[in-house]
Every structure is written in C-alpha cells, then in structure tokens.
Chains A and B, each alone.
Chain A
Amino acid sequence: GAVVSQHPSWVICKSGTSVKIECRSLDFQATTMFWYRQFPKQSLMLMATSNEGSKATYEQGVEKDKFLINHASLTLSTLTVTSAHPEDSSFYICSARDRVRGQSGANVLTFGAGSRLTVL
C-alpha cells in the first residue's frame, strides 16, 4: 500500500535555530501534500497545503515566514521551522494525496508517522 516516510521522527533543537522536516511518498506520486500540527490532547490543525511546483497555501493564522514549505518534486515536501522558539514545540504530521487515486475524488490521504519537535 501507499507509504509516506516522515523524517526525523523526533528532534530537539536550541531556540533560534532552524529545523527541517521531510515528507516523502515512497511508492506513489503526490501532487498535493498537507502539513498538520497537533498539540497535546488537541485535534490536528491544518497548517498548509502544498502543491508540487507551486507555492504553498497557508491556513489563516499560520506564519508563512516561520513555517517554510517546499514541494520541489512529486515525492518530496519539506517543512522548515525557522528561528524556532519553545512555543513551536509540537507534533508535526504530513500527509499526501496520491496523484492517481486523488483524481477519482476519493480524497484518501496517506499520513506520515509524525515528527516531534522540542525547542529548548
């Protein structure tokens, strides 16, 4: 079945540094990838939608300059948390929509296992 690999699974960094999280679709092409953030005991919050070869669409309230998203190929999207601060500590999850299956309107997404970011 479809697999999305997300890396790293956890990362600890110092305040002020930048952290990059990768999301790869391993056995399918993903024209659209979604980035979510999840706080403890809260629901997943959609941060942005990235389409291959174009700029990401950010949800209201999400800082574009803080959370840089790049979707350079049909199998890779990256989220870079720039100048991270403790309040950016969270669980980040990506998901991908299969280019072929997505055309059927199934709207079935494949999720990565998530990345736990801790900013000291």
Chain B
Amino acid sequence: GNSVTQMEGPVTLSEEAFLTINCTYTATGYPSLFWYVQYPGEGLQLLLKATKADDKGSNKGFEATYRKETTSFHLEKGSVQVSDSAVYFCALWGHAGNNRKLIWGLGTSLAVNP
C-alpha cells in the first residue's frame, strides 16, 4: 500500500537558518502530496500541496516540489523564524480504490531559537 517516510526530528535551528525536512513516498498511480503543520495547542493546518509531478507548492515562505523521479516532496524554507516552531507532517492522498485517504508521515518537530 501507499506509505510516507519522513525525516525524524526533533530539528533545532537558529532564527534565519535554512530548513529542509525530507519526505519520500511510495504509491501506486499519481497521488497528491501535502505538508501539514501543527502549532502548539492547535489543530493540523494545510501548509501547502502539489497535485502532479513537478508542481511546486508554496506558502508562508515554505516550498516543496513534487519529484516523481525521486518520489520525494521535501519541505524547505530559506530563513526560519521562531514562529515556525511546530510539528510538520508530510502526507499523500491516493486516488485509486482503497487509497482514497490521507496517509501520514510520522511528523517532524521543529524548534527555532532566537
């Protein structure tokens, strides 16, 4: 079945550092890919998404490119802020048969220090 493998955390960075959180997937067909973020005490929020190969999702300075050749959807941000401290989840939505549901990575906790 479909699966998502996400870089383990926690990740600790200083403000203005470059962030990369790796995410790779296994899926049949052409899934949609997502990054969700969970700030402390809040529900999961969609950060960005991409629905086909070579699409780039972006939001709040974060970017991720759907790479079918490497089955990856790595999350990047050029300059993190303290307010980016949260848990980040990579997920995919399959489009075939029993795969029409979100499959999640384990989540990566990010702490940004001033």
Residues of A within 8 A of B (CB): 4, 6, 34, 41-44, 46, 49, 93, 95, 107-114
Residues of B within 8 A of A (CB): 4, 32, 36, 41-46, 49, 89, 93, 101-102, 104-107
Q: Is the CB of A113 within 8 A of B43?
A: yes
> Secondary structure at chain A's binding surface: helix, strand, loop or mixed?
strand
Q: Is the CB of B43 within 8 A of A6?
A: yes
Most buried by B among A42, A46, A107: A107
- Complex Cα distance, B104 from A46, in Å, reads 9
- Complex Cα distance, B32 from A112, in Å, reads 22
Q: Is the CB of A113 within 8 A of B46?
A: no
**Using Cβ atoms and an 8 Å threshold, which residues of chain A touch B101?**
34, 46, 49
- Complex Cα distance, B102 from A43, in Å, reads 11
**Using Cβ atoms and an 8 Å threshold, which residues of chain B touch A113?**
41-43
5 examples of A-B residue contacts, CB within 8 angstroms: A4-B43, A44-B104, A93-B44, A109-B102, A111-B44
- Complex Cα distance, B42 from A4, in Å, reads 11
Residue of chain B at shortest CB distance from A5:
B43
Not counting A93-B43, A108-B46, a sample of 18 additional A-B residue pairs whose C-beta atoms are within 8 angstroms of each other reads A4-B43, A6-B43, A34-B101, A41-B106, A43-B89, A43-B106, A43-B107, A44-B102, A44-B104, A46-B101, A46-B102, A93-B44, A107-B32, A107-B93, A110-B43, A111-B44, A111-B45, A113-B41
**Using Cβ atoms and an 8 Å threshold, which residues of chain B touch A42?**
106
**Using Cβ atoms and an 8 Å threshold, which residues of chain A touch B102?**
34, 44, 46, 109
- Complex Cα distance, B105 from A67, in Å, reads 24
Q: Is the CB of B44 within 8 A of A108?
A: no
**Using Cβ atoms and an 8 Å threshold, which residues of chain B touch A109?**
46, 102
